[in-house]
Amino acid sequence: MMFLSASDGKDYRLSSFSENVEVHFAFRKKTEVLGKARNLLLQCDFSVPQDYTSKDPLLKNDGMAINSSNQVVDLIFSSERCVVSKAASQLMELVHQTLQDVCLSSARVALEFYHAVRDAILLYEAVIPVK
């Protein structure tokens, strides 16, 4: 009795799936990253800490805000500081975490992760008005 015949395509489909298992993993991870980004944006937690709503927040001698948090960031190419919303901060944490995974992944998986991060940022730009 023959269990696998030459005309049976199931063995080909199984081997094709197993050869591309990392791509399937990357696609699932991409969907997960986009889902998390969407949920962050749907929460609409774009509040800014009350201490930073005035024009002049209280500063220490070294220029750091007294109640500094993750939402106060130093600008890279400027000496100024800016305040970002909690949702934007959490989105950037998700992007950073995913990009760390890119560094440890194969090229095919890294490309999918890169596209996930790019799409998450584009989703943010589509939902939130950005200068």
Tell me the domain boundaries of the chain.
23-48+69-131
When comparing pLDDT for 100 and 87, which is higher? 100
pTM beyond 0.85: no
Closest by CA position to 120, among listed 25, 27, 35: 35
Q: What gap in Å lies between CA 81 and CA 99, rounded to an integer?
A: 24
Predicted confidence band of residue 119 (pLDDT cuts 50, 70, 90): very high
Q: Which residues contact 63 (CB under 8 A, 6 or more apart)?
A: none
Mean confidence (pLDDT) of the chain: 75
Closest by CA position to 51, among listed 83, 86, 88: 83
Identity of the residue numbered 91: L
Q: Give residue-wise pLDDT tens across range 30-65.
A: 999 999 999 988 886 666 656 655 554 444 444 444
- Six token digits for residue 46: 């774009």
